[in-house]
């Protein structure tokens, strides 16, 4: 890692009553990344809806998604970003183990924060996906990922 801080934001992503990958980042080959924060912000309309299970998972394939644009937090940092990102899966990636999860009410938001000593790393060539398991409703979510490469 070269100490370059990177941010990726999906903008509004719609989801339905299913399992859906709403965001994914991929570490370049032989170049791991450190996830600092993942934030999911829902735009729910009903207080009666069931919570959504938000999972951060290792994924072994890219699936089919819309390309995203990760950006440097500090524009003057040298080098070219090697991390890639995408969002809104139309064909779900192959998902491996769950790294973190949280039930979140669809009218709120949640921050997964990984402090020093409890970092979440993505190995070179691997993917980290933000997956929603939504039992009863459709809606909209905005996801942001902060990382260091």
Per-residue pLDDT of the chain (149 residues; tens, 9 = 90+): 468 999 999 999 998 888 999 999 999 998 999 999 999 999 987 888 889 999 999 999 999 999 999 999 999 998 899 999 999 999 999 999 999 999 999 999 999 999 988 999 999 999 999 999 988 778 899 999 999 99
Phi-psi region of 11 (alpha: psi -120 to 50; beta: other; left: phi over 0): left
* pLDDT value at residue 45: 76
Distance CA 57, CA 51 (A): 19
Distance CA 21, CA 23 (A): 6
- The whole-model pTM stands at 0.94
Question: Which residues make beta-bridge pairs with 25?
Answer: 85, 128
Of 11, 145, 141, the C-alpha closest to 81 is: 145
Cα atoms in the Cβ-side hemisphere of radius 13 Å centred on 1: 15
Whose tokens are 């009410």? That residue is 105
């Amino acid at each position: 890692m070269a100490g370059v801080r990177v941010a990726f934001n999906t903008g509004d992503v719609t989801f339905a009553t299913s399992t859906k990958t709403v965001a994914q980042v991929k570490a370049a080959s032989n170049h791991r990344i450190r996830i600092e924060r993942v934030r999911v912000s829902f735009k729910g309309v009903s207080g009666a809806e069931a919570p959504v299970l938000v999972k951060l998972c290792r994924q072994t394939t890219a699936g089919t998604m819309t390309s995203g644009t990760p950006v440097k937090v500090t524009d003057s940092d040298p080098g070219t970003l090697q991390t890639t990102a995408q969002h809104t899966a139309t064909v779900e990636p192959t998902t491996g183990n769950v790294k973190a999860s949280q039930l979140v009410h669809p009218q709120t938001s949640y921050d997964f924060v990984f402090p020093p000593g409890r970092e979440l790393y993505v190995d070179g060539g691997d993917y980290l996906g933000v997956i929603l398991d939504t039992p009863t409703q459709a809606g909209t979510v905005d996801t942001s990922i902060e990382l260091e490469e």
